[in-house]
Chains A and B, each alone.
Chain A
Amino acid sequence: MPRSPGRWLGAFVFLSPGLAYLVVLMLVPLALVFSYTVFQRGRFGGVVYEFTTENFERLFDPLYLSVVLDSLKIAALTTLIALLVGYPTAYLIAQLPKKWKTLALVAVVLPFWTNFIIRVYAWTILLSGPGLVNSALAKIGLGPLELLYNQGTIVAGLLYSYLPLMVLPLYAAIERLDPQLREASANLGASGFATFRKVTLPLTVPGVLTGCLFVFVPSFGNFVIPEMLGGNKSIMVGNLIRNQFLAARDWPFGATLSLALIAVLVVLLIVQAWAARRA
């Protein structure tokens, strides 16, 4: 901890580049966006600086509220599936011999080596009417199915994109666990399942919470995946915000929606931090 003035100065010198970056490129724009929430929209975009609470009233319009709830539902479902798929994966990787472990971890992050948009675009080709999946289904006498442009497709796309963010923190948590705790549990008469339920799972809860947060946050605010895989409908908050700024040219309401999105995420962060401390 810096105590003397000299140390404060030193700390300031080293912090200032990062601090400047944060203030100029994040805090200031964020403050601007938030200030728009209490003003009226301009006729062709922009803001008219006259105070109003109309934007917050619109937020509770059932139309918009349902979009927020749908976003929550889609993000929550994605997170849950990611957890159910990611935990066994992370557990198995943690049990592998050392060199295989490295290989498996590289495989987990391998998709990140290709551009995000391209990967999501690839899904539209795979799932489209005459696409690879449908033609394969046709061979076994099924389909063609309507695979694109519904909520299930969005969940699949989000899951595909963010599953590694679940696996990695889970792997870190499981790997750190003292293997002797599992041996001690077996020695005291516990079956494999009881050991998992009573020892492994409770001790990896912080990793579970981190993974859930890593998947939920980008899923909740996402607009690329719903737009490409969900059709050009305002299904999730992300699309709605984008449309308010770019299509409807209603900056104040877009700003209000952004504020709502951030508020939800901050609440989740606080809950996560609280739960992680208790675990």
Chain B
Amino acid sequence: MLKIDGVSRSFGDVIALDGVSLEIGQGEFFALLGPSGCGKTTLLRIIAGFERPDAGSVSLDGADLLGTPPNRRPISLMFQSYALFPHMTVAKNVAYGLERERLPKQEVRQRVGEVLETVGLSAHAARKPAQLSGGQRQRVALARSIVKRPRLLLLDEPLSALDKKVRADMQLELKRLQHDVGITFVVVTHDQEEAMSLADRIAVFDNGHVRQVDEPVSLYERPRTPFVADFVGANNLFHGTAGGLDGIKSERFGMLAGTPLEELAAEAGALLAVRPEKIELADGGASSGLAGAVLDVSFYGGVSHVSVEVPGHPKPVLVAVQGAATVRPGAEVKVRWAAEDAVIMAADQ
């Protein structure tokens, strides 16, 4: 439905987007994920029409978007700051887009009423934005965006201004709403948990490039580039050279077990990534595994994180265990994992 093809944009010397191509399907909940300054917001502003790309094309349902001024695109944008009109009531804010379409007053009133009902703000219709809480303001912004029934709804860091508890509620609500209204959502976020829990598919951005586009589970379990392996979720990364189908050759540790996602050229630089929850914490006397000493144990309720200092590895190895950990800092342990639980990728992408 939305097709982005070879879009590039730079600001002076800074390249915000470098040949980005993406295709987003009808009804999809799509996330653009990346650290701040990676170009994801620039892409969002290009889609909305507030920024022009230096090169490339953007089309919606096959029709070129770049020639259309922002106020004629069937696209709504929910701003990170919400950008609610401070001098208008909630109802006026929501009605604004419909009034610009010169719809009959009766229809405007009815649709505003319906959408305020949907976001649970009917009782606050006569208030000004300054009289609302952060979560309520976010809902007004959302209502104002969806009331026009856009083809596409863009959300710029929609939940970043909310505190943790409200954020979790709003995540659920966003998902439900997207399901109910059937609008295609594109959300920009730097919060990977948010992207994972909300989106059907995620595009991971880094320095103006798209590093991987995948479903959340695939992105987590089968990262295809070192950046994705490092950025998405906690990971333990080991450098080495390609070592066939069941591991990499590490200078310090010898063969490390893992599964390459694609065939690597012999002796090519390789990176092995293994998730903390896939690592087994074995007794110091165990026959296999990398020997180390427990550095620190943190209890998070359902899980505990144990960091293990492995001599020769630059960062402590992070191990997640269910419940409370039985080891204490200083204990001699070994860390090991099964070959199918670790992924191997080329190091140079």
Cβ B87 vs Cβ A189 within 8 A: no
* The residue from B70, B81, B85, B87 contacting A187, defined by CB atoms under 8 A apart: B70
Cβ B100 vs Cβ A202 within 8 A: no
- Bound Cα distance A194, B101 (Å): 12
- Bound Cα distance A189, B145 (Å): 11
Cβ A203 vs Cβ B87 within 8 A: yes
- Bound Cα distance A63, B81 (Å): 59
Interface-side segment among A37-45, A89-97, A178-186, A230-238? A178-186
* The residue from B70, B86, B144 contacting A203, defined by CB atoms under 8 A apart: B86
Cβ B144 vs Cβ A188 within 8 A: yes
Interface-side segment among B71-79, B181-189, B230-238, B274-282? B71-79
B210 to chain A, nearest CB (A): 25
Cβ of A185: which chain B residues have Cβ within 8 Å of it? Answer: 85, 96
- Bound Cα distance A180, B100 (Å): 18
- The A interface is mostly helix, strand or loop, or mixed, namely helix
Cβ of A191: which chain B residues have Cβ within 8 Å of it? Answer: 71, 100
Cβ of A181: which chain B residues have Cβ within 8 Å of it? Answer: 83, 85
- Bound Cα distance A184, B49 (Å): 11
Answer yes or no: A199 CB below 8 A from chain B CBs: yes
A178 to chain B, nearest CB (A): 7
Cβ of A188: which chain B residues have Cβ within 8 Å of it? Answer: 71, 76, 96-97, 100, 144, 148
Cβ B76 vs Cβ A187 within 8 A: yes
Answer yes or no: B299 CB below 8 A from chain A CBs: no
Task: Give the nearest-CB partner of A192 in chain B.
Answer: B71
Knowing A178-B81, A183-B79, the reply to whether A190 touches B87 (Cβ < 8 A) is no
Answer yes or no: B50 CB below 8 A from chain A CBs: yes
Answer yes or no: A247 CB below 8 A from chain B CBs: no
Give per-residue flags for B108-144: 1 if the beta carbon is below 8 A from chain A beta carbons, else 0. Answer: 0000000000000000000000000000000000001
Cβ of A178: which chain B residues have Cβ within 8 Å of it? Answer: 81, 83
- Bound Cα distance A194, B96 (Å): 11
Task: Give the nearest-CB partner of B100 in chain A.
Answer: A189
Answer yes or no: B48 CB below 8 A from chain A CBs: yes
Task: Give the nearest-CB partner of A195 in chain B.
Answer: B71
B211 to chain A, nearest CB (A): 29
- Bound Cα distance A184, B76 (Å): 9
- Bound Cα distance A191, B101 (Å): 11
Cβ of A189: which chain B residues have Cβ within 8 Å of it? Answer: 71-72, 97, 100-101, 148
A65 to chain B, nearest CB (A): 39
- Bound Cα distance A50, B234 (Å): 93
Interface size class of B (residues with CB under 8 A): 20 to 34
Knowing A187-B48, A188-B100, the reply to whether A199 touches B76 (Cβ < 8 A) is no
Cβ B83 vs Cβ A183 within 8 A: yes
Most B CB within 10 A of own CB, among A178, A187, A194, A199: A187
Residues 66-110 (chain B) with a chain A CB within 8 angstroms = 69-72, 75-77, 79, 81, 83-87, 96-97, 100-101
- Bound Cα distance A202, B97 (Å): 17
- Bound Cα distance A191, B322 (Å): 57
Answer yes or no: A198 CB below 8 A from chain B CBs: yes
Cβ of B144: which chain A residues have Cβ within 8 Å of it? Answer: 188
Cβ A187 vs Cβ B71 within 8 A: yes
Residues 211-252 (chain A) with a chain B CB within 8 angstroms = none
- Bound Cα distance A62, B20 (Å): 77
A71 to chain B, nearest CB (A): 34
Give per-residue flags for A259-279: 1 if the beta carbon is below 8 A from chain B beta carbons, else 0. Answer: 000000000000000000001
Knowing A199-B85, A202-B87, A203-B86, the reply to whether A183 touches B100 (Cβ < 8 A) is no
Cβ of B48: which chain A residues have Cβ within 8 Å of it? Answer: 183, 187
Give per-residue flags for B48-64: 1 if the beta carbon is below 8 A from chain A beta carbons, else 0. Answer: 11100000000000000
B129 to chain A, nearest CB (A): 11
Cβ B83 vs Cβ A186 within 8 A: no
B111 to chain A, nearest CB (A): 13
B91 to chain A, nearest CB (A): 14
Cβ A186 vs Cβ B81 within 8 A: no
Most A CB within 10 A of own CB, among B85, B86, B144: B85
Cβ of B85: which chain A residues have Cβ within 8 Å of it? Answer: 181, 184-185, 198-199, 203
Most B CB within 10 A of own CB, among A178, A183, A188, A190: A188
Cβ of A202: which chain B residues have Cβ within 8 Å of it? Answer: 87
- Bound Cα distance A189, B95 (Å): 12
Cβ B87 vs Cβ A183 within 8 A: no
Cβ of B148: which chain A residues have Cβ within 8 Å of it? Answer: 188-189
* The residue from A180, A190, A194 contacting B81, defined by CB atoms under 8 A apart: A180
Cβ of B83: which chain A residues have Cβ within 8 Å of it? Answer: 178, 180-181, 183-184
Residues 163-187 (chain A) with a chain B CB within 8 angstroms = 178, 180-181, 183-187
Cβ of B77: which chain A residues have Cβ within 8 Å of it? Answer: 183-184, 187
Give per-residue flags for B141-161: 1 if the beta carbon is below 8 A from chain A beta carbons, else 0. Answer: 000100010000000000000
Residues 16-52 (chain B) with a chain A CB within 8 angstroms = 48-50
Cβ B79 vs Cβ A186 within 8 A: no
Chain B contact residues, CB within 8 Å of chain A: 48-50, 69-72, 75-77, 79, 81, 83-87, 96-97, 100-101, 144, 148
- Besides the contacts A186-B50, A190-B96, A191-B100, what 18 more A-B pairs have beta carbons closer than 8 Å? A178-B81, A183-B77, A183-B83, A184-B84, A184-B85, A185-B85, A186-B49, A186-B69, A186-B70, A187-B70, A187-B76, A188-B97, A188-B100, A188-B144, A189-B100, A194-B100, A199-B85, A279-B87
Ordered by A's residue number, 5 sampled pairs between the chains whose C-beta atoms are within 8 Å are: A184-B83, A186-B71, A187-B70, A198-B85, A203-B85
Chain A contact residues, CB within 8 Å of chain B: 178, 180-181, 183-191, 194, 198-199, 202-203, 279
